[in-house]
Amino acid sequence: MNVIDNRLRELGIELPTPPAPRAARIQMAKIAGGFLFVSGQLPSWNGELRYVGKVGREFDLAAGQAAARLSALNVLAQARALLGNDLDRIAEVVCLRGYVNVVPDFFDIAQTVNGASDLIADVFSVRGAHTRTAIGVAMMPYNAAVEIEAQFLLA
């Protein structure tokens, strides 16, 4: 058993089945130049989209953070699938980008994306220190509350 899988087990975290692309002919994850790029992931669990609606209207900050965490779980699921079930191949988490579907007067966008950043930090420890962008948007695909994408440096 590898280190990251052991850490997931210690934290009581199960990863969902990695979802297939819904609307485009894209790769959900791709390795290029020693980096692993994971396409934006929505807050779904085994194909069921959860957290549909806007943070600040249908969802409060805590629910938005839960949506970001679930999206990040899907990022890890995509990474693990592409890496042959070996998340230990990730040397560093380089960057997360979070997009939050918000009403105009919701300003806790960065705090919402913390749901993803906190998960990554908990799972990868020192290797999980990352740069990040958090953006509030007027609309998301399928009206999802959050979308998270990531870049990883491979060992």
Domain ranges of the chain: 3-17+41-154
pLDDT digits (tens, 9 = 90+) for 48-89: 999 999 999 999 999 999 999 999 999 999 999 999 999 999
pLDDT digits (tens, 9 = 90+) for 54-65: 999 999 999 999
With both helix axes pointing from N to C terminus, report the angle between 109-124 and 61-82 in degrees, rounded to the nearest 10: 40
Query: In the CATH hierarchy, which top-level class contains the domain 3-17+41-154?
Result: alpha beta
- Kindly report each contact of residues 84-89 with a partner whose C-beta sits within 8 Å and lies 24 or more positions away, as own/partner: 86/2, 87/2, 87/4, 87/5, 88/2, 88/3, 88/4, 88/155, 89/154, 89/155
Task: Please tell me the distance from the alpha carbon of residue 144 to that of residue 74, in angstroms, as a whole number.
Answer: 14
Predicted model pTM: 0.96
pLDDT digits (tens, 9 = 90+) for 129-146: 999 999 999 999 999 999
- pLDDT the model gives residue 1: 59
- pLDDT the model gives residue 58: 97
Task: Please tell me the distance from the alpha carbon of residue 19 to that of residue 16, in angstroms, as a whole number.
Answer: 8
